[in-house]
Structure 1
Amino acid sequence: MSDYGENESKFMRKAKENPFVPIGMAGFFAIVGYRLMKMKNRGDTKMSVHLIHMRVAAQGFVVGAMTIGVLYSMYKDYIAKPKADQKALSNK
């Protein structure tokens, strides 16, 4: 079994590799927390409808963060990297 410090460094390493995963997780929990606090003031809305809206909003945020992360990764790999490679070749 690994100790807590090793797990923490592994999470931090993964977060540095792909920063949109912790952003997606934080947004998910923020939306769920906000919607749970607003549950008292939902008015005439049924509980099931309120929970469905909460789920859709949270999932939408996570999917959006994942999409932005993939687009950013593709930009780094296919647009920014070839330009850097071309500069290195031209300097030789």
Structure 2
Amino acid sequence: MSTDTDVSLSSYDEDQGSKLTRKAKEAPFVPIGMAGFAAIVAYGLYKLKSRGNTKMSVHLIHMCVAAQGFVVGAMTLGMGYSMYWEFWAKPKP
């Protein structure tokens, strides 16, 4: 019975920063979606004091919908981008 301890899997050897960098190169719209989500949440928190007569729950619902819409839009653009490069831009044999 032999055990193979020399097997090294690259996905287990990388740290969080290099994994995020590799994933960002594979799917560039993921970090865009994350940054947009964070920006909309930060803007919503900044505007929380000056919301006027708008109720707190309505303001939070609007910010939630805006953040989710941005993420869904980034995912849709990312899928369209990958489909374009996989099916249409690929050279035909």
Q: Normalized against structure 1, the TM-score is what?
A: 0.84
Please tell me the residue identity of whatever aligns with 2:48. M
CA distance in 1, matches of 2:68, 2:18: 27
SS of 2:54's equivalent in the other structure is: coil
CA distance in 2, matches of 1:25, 1:10: 15
* Number of positions where the alignment pairs a residue of Structure 1 with one of Structure 2: 82
Q: Percent identity?
A: 68
Which stretches in structure 1 are left out of the alignment for 5+ residues? 87-92
Q: Which runs of 4 or more aligned residues in structure 1 lie more than 3 Å from their structure 2 counterparts after TM superposition?
A: none
Give the superposed CA RMSD: 1.5
Q: Normalized against structure 2, the TM-score is what?
A: 0.83
Match of 2:66 in 1: 57
Please tell me the residue identity of whatever aligns with 2:92. D
From 65, 68, 83, give the equivalent of 1:74: 83
Which stretches in structure 2 are left out of the alignment for 5+ residues? 1-11
Going by fraction, where is helix more abundant, 1 or 2? 1
Spell out the pairing of 1:21-60 with structure 2 (5 A cutoff): 21-60=30-69
Deviation of 1:85 after TM superposition, in Å, equals 3.1
Deviation of 1:24 after TM superposition, in Å, equals 0.1
Please tell me the residue identity of whatever aligns with 2:24. A
